[in-house]
Copies of this chain bind each other. A is one copy, B any other.
Amino acid sequence: MEMMQSGQLDMEQLFPVRRVLNPDGTLVGEEPNFTTEELMSAYRWMVYLRTFDVRALNLSRQGRMGTFAPFAGQEACQVGSAFWLRRGKDWLFPTYRDHGSMQVMGVPGADIIRYYMGDEWGSHAPEDVNVFPISIPIATQYLHAVGIGWAAKIRKQDNVAVSYVGDGGTSPGDFHEALNFAAVQNTGTIFIINNNGYAISTPNRKQFKTKTLAQRALAYDIPGYRVDGQDILATLQVCKEAFDRAVSGGGPTLIEFLTFRYGPHTTPDDPKKYRAQSEVEAWQAKDALERMKKYLINKGLLTEEQDAKMAEEALAAVNAEIAKAEAAPRPKLDDIFDYVYATPTPELEKQRAYLKAFLAKQGQGEAK
């Protein structure tokens, strides 16, 4: 009978999908209150990021950088979740697919390209940008985000931390441990789930049984949301609420974005092996950029001409970042020895000397 009760709960109804814009760009309900500047900035970011992502995937395919994880299709999730964060104050703990959020937060695109080229310097965020290096070990970064909120609480500060996982990232134990710690300590943490339907090839139905991931919030008595991840106004709105809650000591929030990656999981992945083209097209018909563009045009904030210009500017900006990355110095031999510890151990110095002597003998000097 208890079972019936909990079984009776309709989670899809309990966690309705937050949507502000219909796919055709019209409003679902009343006009949200964003400034024109915010609206234009959010759209500009999406245009820039789409361009960045497409170019980066090409670089990878051309072998100008290593394996890359594209996010095209998930721009609204990336921009909305990083948009409200305070540079130099708040923290961001990204996955390998969140380089959109990273850039909104202040990481230069050139750094991200350097990371994927295979240079640790790409993870050296600017001093005033609290973006942790990309976390590849799935879900571990959720705990890091909690630690920031907890430390801030102890230091009587209000730093907010945002972290991300995908749908697959809700399965590791760290996902649970992080939500539980955050709930017990009431930390200012925003937990984002970018549910793009697949963990590489593994579909949601093999990953979890429930109709929503937002309902995981019920296990910890924290607020949970489901949001249309192709609707930038919805992602901005919900993330603002979560940010205000976090800053004001209201504790953590769990947000499930319903989204989709248009491209492969990473460069070598072949999505045709596990999903139908029709599914891709259905999602592309709900594209976040198209939707926002229509909205802005209807609102008279954007013209086709301005939009084309914006695209050109984006391309120029992206190319500049790529150029910067490709012009950056290649990592030095010393780099691999200098940052293992604050001060290299005597043994490390011996190994460094051995390697330099060996390369010198090979007539290779520092070069590779």
Contact = CB atoms under 8 A, between A and B. Distances in A.
A253 B15 CA distance: 24
Indicate the member of A172, A215, A221, A223 with the most B CB atoms within 10 Å: A221
Interface of A: 2-3, 5-7, 9, 11, 14-16, 18, 171-177, 180, 183-184, 186, 206-211, 214-226, 241, 253
Contact of A2 (B180, B219, B224): B224
State how many copies of this chain the complex holds: 2
A11 to B, nearest CB: 8
Contact of A219 (B184, B218, B225, B241): B218
Contact of A208 (B171, B173, B180): B180
Contact of A5 (B14, B175, B184): B14
A7 B222 CA distance: 7
A272 to B, nearest CB: 25
A258 to B, nearest CB: 13
Contacts of A219: 210, 215-216, 218-219
A343 to B, nearest CB: 35
B172 A184 contact: no
Contacts of A172: 173, 177
Interface of A is mostly: helix
A171 B184 CA distance: 11
Given A172-B173, A216-B219, A6 B183 contact: no
A221 B225 contact: no
Contacts of A222: 209
A16 B226 CA distance: 28
Given A172-B177, A184-B207, A218 B221 contact: no
B174 A217 contact: no
A174 B6 CA distance: 23
Contacts of A175: 173, 176
19 contacts: A2-B14, A2-B18, A3-B253, A5-B14, A6-B218, A6-B223, A6-B224, A7-B223, A172-B173, A173-B174, A173-B176, A176-B176, A180-B209, A184-B209, A208-B220, A210-B220, A215-B218, A215-B219, A216-B219
A176 B3 CA distance: 19
A259 to B, nearest CB: 18
